[in-house]
Amino acid sequence: MAKTPKHCSFCGRDEKEVGLLLTGLEAHICDECAERVAEFISETKSAARKAPELKAEELPKPREIKEFLDQYVIGQDEAKKNLSVVVYNHYKRLLQKDAGDDVEIEKSNVVMVGPTGTGKTLLARTIAKKLHVPFTIVDATVFTEAGYVGEDIESILTRLLQVSDYDVAAAERGIVFIDEIDKIARKGDNPSITRDVSGEGVQQGLLKLLEGSVVNVPPQGGRKHPEQRMIAVDTRNILFICGGAFDGIEKKIGARLNTKSVGYSASKDIHKIDRSNLLQYVAPQDLKSFGLIPEIIGRLPILTHLEPLDRASLKRILTEPKNSIVKQYIKLFAMDGVKLDFTDEALDVFVDKAIEFKLGARGLRSMTETVMMDFMFDVPSEHPKSLTIDKETALSKIGKIEKRIV
């Protein structure tokens, strides 16, 4: 007697036409239908989940946010104040109710300008710890114009959805930090008449996110294709914070300041300009000269700068923050039962070399890693009770780097 072929109870195909057929008591389901059912259940649960309500009494005040940042980031008081106020206003904007008037609070996106190693990304990562809304950090260097190898602008929202566990309501009130925003600057001074794959074209694509619109986002990221399911995300309530080094923008600032030197009184004002830190005079027109299109600048109304780190600030960074480099190494060695100490002169060596190599706070990490690498290799096996890093030890270890550079 011939065996009766089994069919999928959902799509009707028999077991020869499918990859796998799961058998139940009185029904069968193929692997493809099972995947569709799983997707449907996941989407239904996601839609049913409601984002937790924000409560006005639970909102951290601007001063509280800044005090929290002070525990991890040294200096940069102006940038901290601006970020604290912007984030607090973002909270209040999400809480605004229909007050019976026509006043609607607009969001204020931010752009931070500062040399490498001054703490732009650290500020973003630290403030994320204090927030009650989804927060993600993306890198603008990977974005290209649609149709080219790289990531589409919509992948920003894909990352935000991922940290929100695909809760669209929560993602639509989140905060996005776009790092290296200066890397998508227009390459020439004039508008491009041809494709600018990773410059002006990306800025044009970023406009719709910054100004607020409903964007169809591929849930798993990657390129869009017609058969892929999309998630609609409204960006009107998403706050965007951008950061970039804008290397060379000081020349644009200097040129602009010099053009105003007319007459005797103007020449007196020039002497008041701090030539060692021109970045404090940065203005929107300097971003335009650097290569950001005016439409982007207009949607980033708050412009703040980060101060270059001086010697005193770098030394404080080594020891004062909760997660300072020195405290991290002391904890690492304590886990092996070793008491680690750094002399004050050794810390001065780390600071001097970081300044010499012009690496900012990142240079401190490089110098410390270089000095500690041999000890981290030997100490776990030798089990000394204590270890002291002095000036001579630091200089001898860092000398290896200088010989390679020479």
Q: Which residue ranges form the domains of the chain, and what is each CATH number?
A: 1-48 (no CATH), 56-96+105-305 (3.40.50.300), 311-405 (1.10.8.60)
Indicate the range of 235-239, 375-379, 402-406 predicted with least confidence: 402-406
- Return the H-helix or E-strand segment holding 65: helix 62-70
The pLDDT score that the predictor gives to residue 34 is 87
pLDDT higher for 114 or 98? 114
CA distance 241 to 316: 26
Question: For residue 335, what pLDDT band results from cuts at 50, 70 and 90?
Answer: very high
Q: What is the mean pLDDT of residues 21-47?
A: 77
pLDDT value at 306 more than 60? yes
Question: For residue 284, what pLDDT band results from cuts at 50, 70 and 90?
Answer: very high
Evaluate whether 64 touches 87 at the Cβ level (below 8 Å): no
Q: Is-above-0.85 flag for pTM?
A: no
Q: What is the mean pLDDT of residues 222-234?
A: 70
Question: For residue 322, what pLDDT band results from cuts at 50, 70 and 90?
Answer: confident
Question: For residue 341, what pLDDT band results from cuts at 50, 70 and 90?
Answer: very high
pLDDT value at 35 more than 60? yes
CB atoms within 10 A of CB 274: 9
Burial class (CB in 10 A: 0-12, 13-18, 19+), 10: middle
CA distance 92 to 370: 46
The pLDDT score that the predictor gives to residue 47 is 47
pLDDT value at 84 more than 90? yes
The Cα-based distances of 396 to 176, 369, 391, 406 in angstroms read: 43, 13, 9, 15
